[in-house]
Chain A
């Protein structure tokens, strides 16, 4: 049986500058999978390549066994129907109210009547704790609320895959924790596979089931596994150091 997402020999580059090379890993169904690493190592670039927003220099990304990188635009569009994505800054369309933002995927992919759409939007806004904010514009709500509204838009079609780019960046610890819990609860209840880019250790330990570490020195995937196991058991000092907030954890065996 195929993994939910397979990344094979993916090399990320901007022109001649290689960001990461030969990345190979699998994301299993219902995983909460975290892409971690230091600043500038290419975490967001990897996510953008997985989403097809950037074209990889080499390699392929498979969703449920189907090659997304090589798929035609029509096939890609069909595959994207199963995705929900939230970007670093929420990326709600600023000229639209929350209702209009959330209505967009429903208008595109469903035959719902306006009344059904309004009902569904209310439900999703309630799920993220934003009931009553239907007619607000993104600029009229706080950063944390924008992120939750973006999450509501991402789950409008109950997607099979949920992607998050730094979901808790810029949030206070309490809001950040609540957002993590919300993501975990929603993903679990919808049976979604989650791929998340973050370097927030609290988030990683709270909700991630598996993680990969991208190294910006060697520009490769250094290690992968369950975050708690990597914290003490990674063969690479830099991974242990990252997961122990900069304190060098004792070596489990061979070091880098």
Chain B
């Protein structure tokens, strides 16, 4: 036992622990387990601290440890702690510790390794799919109430979200789609020039923008802009208990909050995509004119390749992508945690999940188009 700080006095049926000297962080002292190991099979243990000169939390820790171990072993502990320690013990024992590490998540225990576990990863994917299906189902049920006018949707909210999603996003959509058209045109022109086929840069840009880049770029911008905003709005409403209040009033948050947002983004995404298409094609034309294709030639070639099927496929994608971005944002917001960290996570989740949905949906639509030969 270090420093002779504990002396055991055997008194027949009981043993007295006489603590002496300094019990602070600078003095080596035994812990509760070591101390009780010297008690042998005695059932009554008396703690005498009259010889303690100086103490800090070290002694409080030992006191707590002795109490816990005595309780576990069924020992009767008769204590006499220096003034002040009793009050600290009352504080420390006021709220019992949470049993085990029930609160610790798998992630907290294993850190980044938890995300590599294939079983939990597949469980997460399963939960995500089940959650999404449930959410879509609830939204469809709410949507079906719209024609019967029993859904609690405010048309003014719908218009407000349409304005937020559409006109407010127009400048950034125009900028990005023009640049994407420009990049596509430049890449195409450089390659096609080697074969003397610069004129076909118009085909590349038109088909590429209408079928692929127009709807995709629009949806990506909306995921970062509108989807994240939806998640943050609904998450904050969750934190402020506004969603609880809405539920208590008997209104379905799905009808009142989600439906107008998702409907707005579904309506606005194809409209924004049309602008993206026009400015993307114009961007491509700008590059082509610098690479030897006159604007008139470019425009004639665009007209030749501008088949309605490309436009229809692009619009179908736009509607689908808009719905997915809206769903990801609203779902993340409604399932947000009840604190600022939860809102942050919901916003991030809204964007990341929307991106994954977009890529998967785009691939699926392209496969279907390939199979249908359109």
A95 to B152, CA, bound (A): 16
Contact A91–B244 (Cβ < 8 Å)? yes
Known: A17-B103, A104-B251, A108-B250. A85 touches B94 (CB 8 A): no
Q: B residues within 8 A CB of A256? A: none
The proximity string for B residues 60-74 relative to A, scoring 1 for CB distances below 8 Å and 0 otherwise, is 000000000000000
Q: Is A53 an interface residue (CB 8 A)?
A: yes
Closest approach, in angstroms, between the C-beta of A102 and any C-beta of chain B?
A: 11
* Residues of B close to A88: CB separation below 8 A: 241
A73-94 toward B: CB 8 Å interface, digit per residue (1/0)? 0000100110101011101111
Say how far B79's CB is from chain A's closest CB, in angstroms: 19
- Please measure, in the bound complex, the distance between the C-alpha atom of A241 and the C-alpha atom of B265, giving whole angstroms: 57
* Complex: A87 Cα to B237 Cα, angstroms: 13
* Bound Cα distance from A215 to B244, whole angstroms: 26
**Which residues of chain B have C-beta atoms less than 8 A from A225's C-beta?**
none
Most chain A beta carbons < 10 A, residue from B99, B102, B152, B245: B245
**Which A residues are in CB contact (< 8 Å) with B157?**
95
Q: List A residues 29-68 near B (Cβ within 8 Å).
A: 38, 40, 48, 51, 53
Q: Are B250 and A109 in contact (CB under 8 A)?
A: yes
Please report the C-alpha to C-alpha distance between residue A89 and residue B242 in the assembled complex, in whole angstroms: 9
Whether B247 pairs with A105 at a CB distance below 8 angstroms is: no
Number of A-B contacts (CB under 8 A): 59
B-chain residues with CB within 8 Å of residue A17 when the two chains form the complex: 98-99, 102-103
Contacts of B244 on A, CB cut-off 8 Å? Answer: 48, 53, 87, 91
Residue of B96, B152, B237 near A217 (CB, 8 A) is B96
> B50 contacts the other chain (Cβ, under 8 Å)?
no
Question: Could you tell me the distance between the alpha carbons of A85 and B102 in the complex, rounded to whole angstroms?
Answer: 32
Return chain B residues, CB-CB under 8 Å to A105: 249
Shortest CB distance B71–A (Å): 14
- Complex Cα distance, B338 from A87, in Å, reads 14
A250 contacts across to B, CB distance below 8 A? none
B312 interface residue (CB < 8 Å to A): no
B240 touches A (CB below 8 Å): yes
Contact, CB under 8 Å: B240 / A108 = no
Most chain B CB within 10 A, of A77, A87, A93, is at A93
Contact partners of B241 in chain A: CB under 8 A: 87-89, 91
Nearest CB of chain B from residue A255's CB, rounded to whole Å: 15
Q: Does A111 contact B (CB under 8 A)?
A: no
Give the distance in Å from the alpha carbon of A51 to the alpha carbon of B244 in the complex: 10
Within 8 A of A (CB), among B219-261: 236-237, 240-242, 244-251
Q: A87 touching B245 by the CB < 8 A rule?
A: yes
Q: Are A104 and B249 in contact (CB under 8 A)?
A: yes
Check B248–A53 contact: CB distance below 8 A. Answer: yes
A15 at the interface (CB under 8 A from B): yes
Query: Min CB distance, A21 to chain B, in Å?
Result: 13
Q: Is the CB of B95 within 8 A of A85?
A: no
Chain A residues near B247 (CB, 8 Å)? 53
Q: How far is the CB of A61 from chain B (nearest CB, A)?
A: 14
Q: Is A176 among interface residues, defined by CB-CB distance under 8 A? A: no
A235 at the interface (CB under 8 A from B): no
Task: Pick the contact of A15: B102, B237, B245 (CB < 8 A).
Answer: B102
Taking a contact as CB atoms closer than 8 A, the residue among B102, B152, B242 that contacts A16 in the complex is: B102
A–B complex contacts, Cβ < 8 Å, 8 sampled: A17-B103, A83-B248, A93-B237, A94-B236, A94-B242, A108-B250, A109-B250, A216-B96
Residues on B lying within 8 angstroms of A by beta carbon are 93-96, 98-99, 102-103, 152, 157, 236-237, 240-242, 244-251
4 more contacts with CB within 8 A, not counting A38-B94, A48-B244, A87-B241, are A16-B102, A91-B241, A94-B237, A105-B249
